[in-house]
Structure 1
Amino acid sequence: MGWLVSLVVLSALIFFHELGHYLAARFFGVYVEVFSVGFGKKVASFRLFNTEWRIAMIPLGGYVRMKGQDDLDPTAISSDSDSYNAKAPWQRIMILAAGPAANFVIAFFLYLFIGLGSPQVLAPVVGDVVKDSPAFVGGVESNDTIKAINGREIATWEEMSTIIKESSGTLDLTIERGNYIQHLQVTPTIQETTNLFNERVHRRMVGIGSAGVATTLDLNLFESIGYAAHETYKASTLIFKGVQKLITGDVPAKELGGAISIVKITADASENGWMAVFFFAALISVNLGVLNLLPIPALDGGHIMFNLYEMITKRMPSEAVLYKLTILGWALLLGLMTLGIYNDINRLMQ
């Protein structure tokens, strides 16, 4: 059942991505020939709004085929008024950017539903206290709840960690211990640790670990909107940094995941309720948005790059250059997909 849920989620995210392209294309008067969820052999189809809507055999992607635009043959253009090529470069960029934008919008609404559903997060309850650490010296004990730092109220462990990391000087911790409130003075020190990308970093720490206690965030509509905006921004930043570190080699290629990982993670999440599914669906949606903006020919970002070139130089790239770059883009894309699947199979075997 979990695998079915994961395929439905992935297909839905692909559908909304392509719907962004479709709506923008129709808005600018471009004729859309085919709207397909999935690749390969056609399983089912129907016609609506003068477009053929398809469901294809391989549900790991999709496409919108517009008149005068063909990713497999970038030289197949049309000069008709309702073709993609007949539109101004800025209009084509809007059509191309609409797909990734739809993914960010869907992620925002998924996070909004999570916020309205009273999500569970780590409470700022202390677990282990490292001996001789700043917290140990300052008198912090296991099971203490950190209520505020320098008078600023704390609701989650993440919020507390961020404040400590960005702080300077000595901190005034408001601690709840038993039924009593205490104030403790703690001076963080620079310590070596690892970040989300398993890199060695130095940052201000006090030497405490989480007790693993969960707390419920009761957010109203406006607070949920703020939560959704923050989570969408955080996920986008995280994925951008991850891609950057893969390119620079700071994160090894073996960490790259593929379609199997996406399906497996979503399937596992489905066993923990709808909120977990929404969370990973939002993360995958942001992932799709970010990756499609990469300046790789055959992706939206590559096409945007070509149109920016035309806007700046007032001329289109030559057909030969366009064709070669597109072939190179497809080769790179297929190589990354193959590497991701290879890494996925290795993880499953281990």
Structure 2
Amino acid sequence: MGTITFLIVLSILVFIHELGHFLAARYFGVTVHTFSIGFGKKLFSKHWKGTQWQFALVPLGGYVKMKGQDDTKPGLIENGDDSYNNKKPWQRIVILFAGPFANFILAAILYFAIAILGANSLSPTIGEVMKDSPAQKAGIQKNDKIVRINDTEIKTWEQIGKTITQTQGALKFYIQRDNKLQMFVIKPEINDSQNIFREKIKKRMIGIAPAPKLVTIYHSPIEAISYAYDKTIESSKMIFLGVQKLIQGIIPSSEVGGVITIGKVISDASESSFIALLAITALISVNLGVLNLLPIPALDGGHIMFNLYEIITRRKPSDRVFMYLTLAGWVILGSLMLLGIYNDINRIFLKG
């Protein structure tokens, strides 16, 4: 069942990505010969409105084949206003950007659905108070529930950390204890900590840890729009930073996951709950959008880079340069895929 869920989720993500390219291409009048989910031998196909729609044997991706676009023949010129290569560079950029943008839109829709159906978060209930911490000195106890900090209403544990780090000076904590509301004044201390990338940082802290309790937050449609926007932007920034830290060597290459890891994550999420499946699908959709925008030849971001070069210099890169850079891009992508699979297999054997 997990494998089927993985294939369905991946097919939806690929379909939405390629649909973005397809719709933008058709908007500018470009003929799309093929819309494929998967690569290799086609398993099913149907010709509809001038396009061959198909499912192929290897479901790890997809493509739209437009008239006048062929990475193996960068100098290809097909006559007619319906040819991709005859479009203005900015129009080609829109067509290229539309794929990743569609993934961001899908993620936002999924986050919106999560907000309406009920988003699970850690409860703002204290599970541990560190010895000699500002919280302990102020009288905070285990099982206290934080309901407000200054004028900020607290519904989730995440809000506590954000409020503490984004404010200055002493804070008024309104605590629910034994069905009574009490107020404590706590002055956070700046201590050593780690961010999500395990980098050492200085951070305002009060010395508390969460209890293992979840709370479900339901949002109104207006609140859900804000939630979806914030989560999509937050996820995008996190993935961009993750790529940057990987390039810098801060994140070890052993952390790179492949298709096996993605499949397991989707499978585990589907077994956990429908909301969890929506959340991981949204995150992978953002991931797909961000990674495709990287300026690597062979990816959408690489092709956008070529078109920006054409806008700036008023000439296309030579066929030879285009081919060499595209081949280099495929080598980079192939290496990353092999690294991910290698790491996946290592994790399996280590666990075994």
State the TM-score, normalized to the length of structure 1: 0.98
The one-letter amino acid paired with 1:126 is I
Show the counterpart of 1:330. 330
Show the 5 A alignment for 1:229-240.
Answer: 229-240=229-240
Is residue 202 of structure 1 aligned with residue 217 of structure 2?
no
Corresponding position of 1:177? 177
1:182 aligned counterpart, secondary structure? strand
Using the alignment, how far apart are the partners of 2:74 and 2:113 within structure 1? Answer: 40
CA contact (8 A) 1:79 1:85 kept: no
- 1:114 equivalent to 2:114? Answer yes
Deviations 1:59-96 (A, max 9, x none): 11000111111134333332432110000000000000
Give CA deviations for 1:282-317 in whole Å, capped at 9, x if unaligned: 000000000000000000000000000001111100
Letter in 2 for 1:17: H
Measured in 1, the distance between the counterparts of 2:345 and 2:78 equals 43
**Comparing 256-265 with 123-132, which one deviates more in the overlay?**
256-265
Does the 8 A contact of 2:71 with 2:323 survive in 1? no
State the match for 1:15 in structure 2: 15
Query: Structure 2: which 5+ residue stretches go unaligned?
Result: none
| Post-superposition offset of 1:218 | 1.9
Measure the CA separation in 2 of the matches of 1:108 and 1:119.
14
- Between stretches 298-307 and 210-219, larger displacement belongs to 210-219
Alignment of 1:45-124 (within 5 A): 45-124=45-124
**Aligned to 1:271, what secondary structure does the other structure show?**
helix
In the other structure, the counterpart of 1:343 is 343
Letter matched to residue 121 of structure 2: V
Q: Distance in 1 between matches of 2:228 and 2:40?
A: 36
Q: Is the 8 A contact 2:37 2:59 kept in 1?
A: yes
* Aligned ranges 1:102-181 → 2 under 5 Å: 102-181=102-181
- 2:342 is equivalent to residue 305 of structure 1: no
Please tell me whether the aligned partners of residues 112 and 224 of structure 1 are also in contact (alpha carbons under 8 angstroms): yes
Q: CA deviation at 1:176?
A: 0.8
Answer yes or no: is the 8 Å Cα contact 1:74–1:326 preserved in 2.
no
Deviation string, structure 1 residues 130-171 (Cα, Å, up to 9, x no partner) = 000111111110000111111221111001111112221111
Matched letter for residue 3 of structure 2 = W
Contact 2:146/2:173, CA 8 A, preserved across alignment:
yes
- Supply the distance in 1 between the matched residues of 2:76 and 2:274 (Cα, whole angstroms): 44
Q: Provide Cα deviations, 1:211-244, integer angstroms capped at 9, x if missing partner.
A: 0211121211111111111111111111011011
1:214 and 1:239 mapped to 2: Cα distance?
Answer: 25
TM-score normalised by structure 2 residue count:
0.97
Offset of residue 201 of structure 1: 1.8
Q: Is the 8 A contact 1:75 1:323 kept in 2?
A: no
In structure 1, distance between residues paired with 2:74 and 2:297:
10
Bigger shift: residues 41-50 or 75-84: 75-84
Q: Distance in 1 between matches of 2:165 and 2:29?
A: 51
Moved more, 109-118 or 67-76: 67-76
Q: How many residues align?
A: 350
Alpha-carbon displacement from aligned partner over 1:303-347 (angstroms, at most 9, x marks no partner): 000000001111100111111111111111111111111111112
RMSD of aligned residue pairs (Cα, Å): 1.0
Q: Distance in 2 between matches of 1:67 and 1:148?
A: 59
For 2:349, the aligned partner's letter is M
Distance 1:93 1:327 in 2: 21
SS of 1:305's equivalent in the other structure is helix
Shift, 1:6, TM fit: 1.2
Equivalent in the alignment of 2:260 = 260
CA distance in 2, matches of 1:221, 1:201: 37
Give how far 1:348 is off.
1.9
SS in 1 for 2:86: coil
Q: CA deviation at 1:263?
A: 1.1
CA contact (8 A) 2:125 2:143 kept: yes
Q: Measure, in 2, the Cα distance between the counterparts of 1:11 and 1:194.
A: 36
CA distance in 2, matches of 1:320, 1:198: 42
AA partner of residue 174 (structure 2):
T
Q: Secondary structure at the match of 1:107?
A: helix
